[in-house]
Every structure is written in structure tokens, then in C-alpha cells.
């Protein structure tokens, strides 16, 4: 196993009788971005705080570039954190915001100028040095916060809901840009989000947590098409996955986009309601196998009698008892 990057082994955090994180093991390579995704209270923020050294570890180990930093003070880990608020000083210019941390660490002036020039070029912030945060766009403020983190020359970057303060249109615009910037920077990156679209758009891999336990880690495509269990299948995807009863002990699931309407030979269905979603409609269908969601371009009216079908190979099969996916 390579020693470069981040490696967590059986990481746990207990507070009194509460187990907030239970045996988390994962690795992030240099230049790779991993998203921690899950509902509120699943262990995302707990993991971030343990990696940053803000909370003590109850069990397990954290290694950065081969060095055991499990019990190292936060200031000695070379971990940089970008908060959702960006935490920029409003009364200081972009340049002063960037210089401050280097001055505190007593970096010589020539070295400060060199490093700042590099990150300004990397993040396309040249020409904005004299502006204050209030004079910047949301995307520019985000890049200044990233620049300040990169100036620390970290071994690991942690992003806490990095796009939550941006409106939906700006998030869509900046997502590919931020992903490209993080790849160019070359550090291992972990970012926490509750937004699955953000996780799928920004991360090379996603780790899904529930109840402090890692449910699955993999690429966005792996998690979406081959979820390890029913929780992951239901948590990922908008609109949500359809659940149908299978043979004894089996729960079937199928994505709405994999259903299609046919003239005949399908499962009879009655259209309950519809919702326009851009060029398609999201249809709620009442069938003998339960209520199904389907995406279609057809202009249909509630109450219509329809027929729906799907390919058997598109079905996902899970154990009704354990929720684990069956081969």
C-alpha cells in the first residue's frame, strides 16, 4: 500500500455512551477528492473534526503521507480547512487576507510574495488583490478561501459544505471549475456535503455514511448503479428509486429513468399525478406492484390508463432481511 495521501484505519469517536463514528477506514490519494455524504448526524462532521485534530480519536489511526498523526495537535498536522462561511476578514483586502497566515507563521517576505503569486495564478484571482471580500462575487470569495488554504502547503485539504452559501445557478456553474482547481492543486481533498448533486459533481469517489458507519465508498457511477445496500440505493438519486416486492425474501428496486411506457404488454398503471421537470415529466403511477415513479417526455393527464415496463437486467435485488444487495 502506498503511504502518500491520507489513510484512516478503524477510526472511531465516542462521547459518553454515544458512538458517533464506528470503525471508519478509507484512503484518499494525492490529487483525489473524496466526498463524505449522508443525512444529518451520520458522522460527516465528526470525521472532519477528527482529521483536523479538533476532537480526540477514541480508536483507530490517522496517517498522513505515512506519518501517524492520530494524536498530533491540530497545528502540527499540515491540514487546511475551508469553512462554508469562507471565514475571510471583511476589513482586509484579498492580498492582506492571504498574507496574514504567512506572516503569523513568519514566512519571509520574498517567499510570501512567491507563494501568493502562485496561488493567485492557479485560482485565477490575479487583478483582485486590492478588493475586499464584499467587492467579490460568491465564486471569487470561495476561491480566495481556497487560496488561503493552499498557502499553508497542506498535506490534506478539508472542505466543509464548500458551496452551500451559493445560489443553485452559481453552484452549477462553479462545480466543474472547483473540481478542476482541486485536481490541479494536487492535494488529497475531503469535502463534507449533504447535497448528493454536489458530491457527484465534485468528487472522484463518495463515501456514504449512516449512523456513524461507512455504508459504501466508490465512484459516483458505482454507488448509483451498484449500491451496496438499500440505504445507499434510496439515499442516492433524485427522484428516488422505485421499490417493488420480489420473490420471498427479496426486495427489488429500479430507477425511474429505467422505466418506459409501452402501448401493450406492460404492467397496467394509472397516472395519479405529474410534475414538470424541464423537458420531462415526473409521473406517479398506481400499479398492482405499488406506486412507481417514471420520467417521460410525453404530455399526459392524471387519470390516464397506461402500461409500463423495464428490462429485467435493470432491476437491483436486495435481501429483505439485511438490506444488502444480492449478486
Instruction: pLDDT tens for the chain, 327 residues: list them.
Output: 568 899 999 999 999 999 999 999 999 999 999 999 999 999 999 999 999 999 999 999 999 999 999 999 998 999 998 877 778 899 999 999 999 888 888 889 899 989 999 888 888 889 999 999 999 988 888 889 888 888 888 999 999 887 776 777 777 877 887 888 888 888 999 999 888 988 998 899 999 999 999 999 999 999 999 999 999 999 999 899 999 988 889 999 999 999 999 999 999 999 999 998 888 889 999 999 999 999 998 889 899 999 999 999 999 999 999 999 997
Whether the upstream peptide bond of residue 99 has omega within 30° of 0, thus cis, is: no
In this structure, the number of other CB atoms found within 10 A of the CB of residue 314 comes to 13
| H-run or E-run covering 96 | helix 94-104
pLDDT at 2 (0 to 100)? 63
Q: What is the dihedral of CA 145, 138, 219, 42, to 10 degrees?
A: 80
pLDDT at 327 (0 to 100)? 75
Residues 88 and 133: beta-carbon distance below 8 Å = yes
For residue 36, report the phi and psi dihedrals to the nearest 5 degrees: -95, 120
Residue 295 to residue 126: CA distance in whole angstroms: 45
CATH 3.40.50.300 region(s) of the chain? 6-230
Residue 289 to residue 36: CA distance in whole angstroms: 34
CATH 2.40.50.140 region(s) of the chain? 239-319
Residue 144 to residue 122: CA distance in whole angstroms: 11
Whether the upstream peptide bond of residue 239 has omega within 30° of 0, thus cis, is: yes
pLDDT at 92 (0 to 100)? 92
Residue 270 to residue 265: CA distance in whole angstroms: 15
pLDDT at 137 (0 to 100)? 87
- Least Cα distance to 52 among 78, 14, 21 occurs for 78
pLDDT at 104 (0 to 100)? 84
Residue 228 to residue 225: CA distance in whole angstroms: 10
In this structure, the number of other CB atoms found within 10 A of the CB of residue 206 comes to 26
Q: Look up residue 57 and give its three cell numbers.
A: 480519536
- Burial profile 293-305: b = 16 or more Cβ within 10 angstroms, e = fewer: bbbbeeeeeeeee
| H-run or E-run covering 36 | strand 33-37
For residue 214, report the phi and psi dihedrals to the nearest 5 degrees: -70, 120
Gyration radius from the chain CA atoms: 24
pLDDT at 293 (0 to 100)? 97
Fold held by 6-230: Rossmann fold (3.40.50)
Fold held by 239-319: OB fold (Dihydrolipoamide Acetyltransferase, E2P) (2.40.50)
User: Order of strands, edge to edge, in the sheet holding 79-82?
Assistant: 79-82, 156-160, 189-193, 33-37, 205-210, 213-218
Residues 206 and 228: beta-carbon distance below 8 Å = no
- Least Cα distance to 310 among 223, 244, 220 occurs for 244
pTM of the model as a whole:
0.87
For residue 306, report the phi and psi dihedrals to the nearest 5 degrees: -130, 175
In this structure, the number of other CB atoms found within 10 A of the CB of residue 18 comes to 8
Amino acid at each position: 500500500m502506498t503511504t502518500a495521501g491520507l489513510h484512516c484505519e478503524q477510526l472511531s469517536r465516542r462521547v459518553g455512551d454515544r458512538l458517533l463514528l464506528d470503525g471508519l477506514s478509507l484512503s484518499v490519494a494525492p490529487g483525489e477528492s473524496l466526498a463524505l455524504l449522508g443525512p444529518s448526524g451520520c458522522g460527516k462532521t465528526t470525521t472532519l473534526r477528527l482529521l483536523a485534530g479538533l476532537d480526540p480519536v477514541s480508536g483507530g489511526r490517522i496517517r498522513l503521507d505515512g506519518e501517524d498523526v492520530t494524536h498530533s495537535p491540530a497545528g502540527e498536522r499540515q491540514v487546511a480547512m475551508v469553512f462554508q462561511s469562507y471565514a475571510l476578514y471583511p476589513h482586509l483586502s484579498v492580498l492582506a487576507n492571504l498574507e496574514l497566515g504567512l506572516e503569523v507563521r513568519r514566512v519571509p517576505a520574498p517567499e510570501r510574495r512567491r507563494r501568493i503569486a502562485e496561488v493567485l495564478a492557479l485560482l485565477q484571482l490575479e487583478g483582485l488583490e486590492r478588493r475586499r471580500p464584499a467587492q467579490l462575487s460568491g465564486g471569487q470569495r470561495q476561491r480566495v478561501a481556497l487560496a488561503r488554504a493552499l498557502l499553508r502547503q497542506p498535506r490534506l485539504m478539508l472542505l466543509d459544505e464548500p458551496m452551500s452559501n451559493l445560489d443553485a445557478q452559481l453552484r452549477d456553474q462553479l462545480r466543474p471549475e472547483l473540481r478542476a482547481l482541486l485536481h490541479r492543486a494536487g492535494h488529497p481533498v475531503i469535502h463534507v456535503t449533504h447535497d448528493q448533486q454536489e458530491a457527484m459533481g465534485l468528487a472522484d469517489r463518495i463515501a456514504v455514511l449512516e449512523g456513524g458507519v461507512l455504508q459504501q465508498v466508490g465512484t459516483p457511477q458505482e454507488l448509483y448503479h451498484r449500491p451496496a445496500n438499500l440505504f445507499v440505493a434510496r439515499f442516492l438519486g433524485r427522484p428516488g428509486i422505485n421499490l417493488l416486492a420480489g420473490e420471498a425474501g427479496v426486495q427489488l428496486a429500479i430507477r425511474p429513468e429505467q422505466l418506459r411506457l409501452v402501448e401493450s404488454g406492460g404492467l397496467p398503471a394509472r397516472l395519479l399525478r405529474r410534475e414538470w421537470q424541464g423537458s420531462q415529466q415526473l409521473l406517479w403511477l398506481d400499479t398492482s406492484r405499488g406506486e412507481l415513479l417514471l420520467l417521460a417526455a410525453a404530455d399526459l393527464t392524471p387519470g390516464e390508463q397506461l402500461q409500463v415496463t423495464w428490462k429485467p437486467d435493470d432491476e437491483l435485488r436486495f435481501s429483505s432481511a439485511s438490506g444488502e444487495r444480492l449478486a
